[in-house]
Structure 1
Amino acid sequence: MNRRTLILSGAATLVLPALPAFAAPLDYTPGLMKERLAAGETVFLDFKAPWCGTCRAQERVLNKLKSEDGAYEQNITFINVDWDTYGKSQMADRLKIPRRSTLVALKGKQEIGRIVADTSERNIKKLMDAALSAATNA
């Protein structure tokens, strides 16, 4: 690369507007949820399995809604919980998670709401909005 190309490409990066950086959901590990809740974060748990069609449909809706409104990812901690690994865990038992394709929003020791096996954009948005409201009205 010659110097002119290097300078022009560097200048172009300064002129382009910064795109918002969105964090990928965290992958659940024991203690993660408790740690994030103790830190005052609003947590959105997605109990899913890679082979689950309902889970994939929910994920498409979640990604669509997050791409339309950056406030979700700026204010809510999204955690993917692998059903095959943690579906029978103490955490899942304590939260009374009945099956994969369950979405749960939490703040502190409060459950904000949950959805089980529902792929409706309207219902998922309602749960995400409730979580956002809890996160921003602290």
Structure 2
Amino acid sequence: MKRRHFLAAAGVAALVPFHAMAAEFVEYEPGVIEAALNDGKTVFVDYSATWCGTCKRQERVINALRSADPTYDSAMTFVKVDWDTYKTHEVAVFRDIPRRSTLIVLRGEEELGRVVAGTSESQIKALMDKGL
């Protein structure tokens, strides 16, 4: 990247309010979801693959909603499960996850909702709102 472009990008990033930038997802590793649930947190789980177009669209919608409303980040822990790595692991099998591009919201022992392959903002927002 040329220095002038880097400085311009850094200047623009500095002007964006911190709350307008969505927090990152926690990358799944065994025990991460259970630990958050045991701490009393609500967990939004995104089962996705890096090559999946539907997953990329879902991620853009999720990030836009998180940027628009910081309440989501204070109310939930967002976890991304790599489908290629964990599709036959208990994190997917135990919850009967049918495919990549599945989104679920968990609280305690309960699944509050699920979206499978849905990409509409209203559908994903409704799921995220269940976690509030």
* TM-score over 0.5 (shorter chain): yes
Alpha-carbon shift at residue 25 of structure 1 (Å) = 0.9
RMSD over equivalenced CA pairs, Å: 1.6
Which residue of 2 is the match for residue 97 of structure 1?
Answer: 97
Which residue of 1 is the match for residue 38 of structure 2?
Answer: 38
Contact kept, 8 Å, 2:22 with 2:63, in 1: the verdict is no
Separation in 1 of the partners of 2:22 and 2:118? 25
Q: Secondary structure at the match of 2:131?
A: helix
Alpha-carbon shift at residue 19 of structure 1 (Å) = 3.1
Q: Secondary structure at the match of 1:98?
A: coil
Which residue of 1 is the match for residue 87 of structure 2?
Answer: 87
Which residue of 2 is the match for residue 19 of structure 1?
Answer: 18
Which residue of 2 is the match for residue 63 of structure 1?
Answer: 63
- In structure 1, give the amino acid aligned to 2:110: Q
Q: How many residues align?
A: 117
Separation in 1 of the partners of 2:59 and 2:22? 15
Specify every segment of 5 or more residues in structure 2 that has no aligned partner in the other structure, as ranges. 1-14
- In structure 2, give the amino acid aligned to 1:58: Q
- In structure 1, give the amino acid aligned to 2:18: L
Q: Secondary structure at the match of 2:127?
A: helix
Q: Secondary structure at the match of 1:115?
A: strand
Which residue of 2 is the match for residue 54 of structure 1?
Answer: 54
Q: TM-score, normalised by structure 2?
A: 0.84
Separation in 1 of the partners of 2:18 and 2:78? 20
Separation in 2 of the partners of 1:23 and 1:58? 15
- In structure 1, give the amino acid aligned to 2:106: L
Contact kept, 8 Å, 2:28 with 2:80, in 1: the verdict is yes
Alpha-carbon shift at residue 24 of structure 1 (Å) = 1.1
What's the % identity of the aligned pairs? 50
Does 1:28 find its partner at 2:24?
no
- In structure 1, give the amino acid aligned to 2:52: C
> Could you list the per-position Cα deviations for residues 53-97 of structure 1 after superposition, in whole angstroms to 9, with x for gaps in the alignment?
000010010011011100001110000000000111012100000
Which residue of 2 is the match for residue 128 of structure 1?
Answer: 128
Q: TM-score, normalised by structure 1?
A: 0.80
Alpha-carbon shift at residue 22 of structure 1 (Å) = 4.8
Residues 118 and 22 from structure 1, CA distance in 2 versus in 1: closer, same or farther, beyond 3 angstroms?
A: closer
